[in-house]
Amino acid sequence: IVPFMVKNTCSHAKTYRIGVRELIDADGRPAPSQPILNKQTITLQPGRSERVLMQIDLDKFENGSSHSTEIVIRENEINQNICFTLKVNNDCQQVVTAEPQDEKKYKLRWQSWQSHYYCEPKKDRKDTPVITN
């Protein structure tokens, strides 16, 4: 079970829909078990927060495997995604480690006219050659 909080930072009540995309490995194959959220909608008063639980059945996962997905929070038209990576490490008494991705390695990018953002790895910048006349 992976808990996370959703907080309303606006000055009036908001209702959010919450979902989770397919959990996949690095090759795009679906995980042996998919995550389930305990809530699909929440209504929050200004300044209030509520905990949501994501449950994943780990029985069929291989030790050392890594899978990723996005948790989607949506009010009306705009998806706000939480990037999530699951790394299975059964060497430590069946302990599973969820490692949030370093935000510095990602930037928000406008994906399309449909008001949707997604996480994209920061691209390496090659040094630009100096031009002299």
We report the CATH number of the domain holding residue 81 as: 2.60.40.2310
Instruction: Give domain status of residue 111, yes or no.
Output: yes
| Burial grade of 80 (CB within 10 A; 0-12, 13-18, 19 or more) | middle
Instruction: Report the alpha-carbon distance of residue 118 to residue 109 in Å, rounded.
Output: 6
Instruction: Give domain status of residue 132, yes or no.
Output: no
Instruction: Give domain status of residue 133, yes or no.
Output: no
Instruction: Give domain status of residue 131, yes or no.
Output: no
Instruction: Give domain status of residue 64, yes or no.
Output: yes
Instruction: Give domain status of residue 63, yes or no.
Output: yes
Tens-place pLDDT, residues 48-102 = 989 999 999 988 998 889 999 999 988 888 888 888 999 887 665 544 444 555 5
The DSSP bridge partners found for residue 19 are: 72
Contacts of 70 (CB under 8 A, 6+ apart): 20, 21, 81, 82, 83, 84, 118, 119
* Domain boundaries, position 34: 2-121
Instruction: Give domain status of residue 117, yes or no.
Output: yes
